[in-house]
Amino acid sequence: MEREKIVATANDFLVNEFEVDGDEISNDANFKKTLGLDSLDYIDLVVVIESNFGVKLGEADFKNIVTFEDFYSTIENKIAEKNV
C-alpha cells in the first residue's frame, strides 16, 4: 500500500471514528496529545487499524509513536513485514 493511501485512510478514520479535528493532524504533531485517547480508545484504534490495514499494532508499537509521521511509518512497516 502506498504511503499516501495509508495517510489518507488513517486520517479519515481518526477524524470520523475518533472525532479528531483534521486541522490538528500534521506529520510533526504529537500523536498522543492530539488524539487524547484513553486506554479503551487505544483498543478501538487497534481494531480500526486492523480492519483498515490488515495489521495489528501492539503496546510496544504505540510506545514508539510520538508524531503522526511515526504512526504512519509504523503502519507502513507492519504492512511491509506482513507482505514479506
pLDDT in tens, the chain (84 residues): 899 999 999 999 999 999 999 999 999 999 999 999 998 999 999 999 999 999 999 999 999 999 999 999 999 999 999 988
pTM of the predicted protein model: 0.94
DSSP 67: B
How distant, in Å, are the alpha carbons of 11, 27, 39, 71, 79 from that of 35? 11, 13, 12, 12, 23
Q: What gap in Å lies between CA 19 and CA 17, rounded to an integer?
A: 6
Domains of the chain as residue ranges with CATH:
3-18+27-79 (1.10.1200.10)
Amino acid present at 4: E
Bridge partners (DSSP) listed for residue 30: 67
Q: Which residue has the cell 500500500?
A: 1
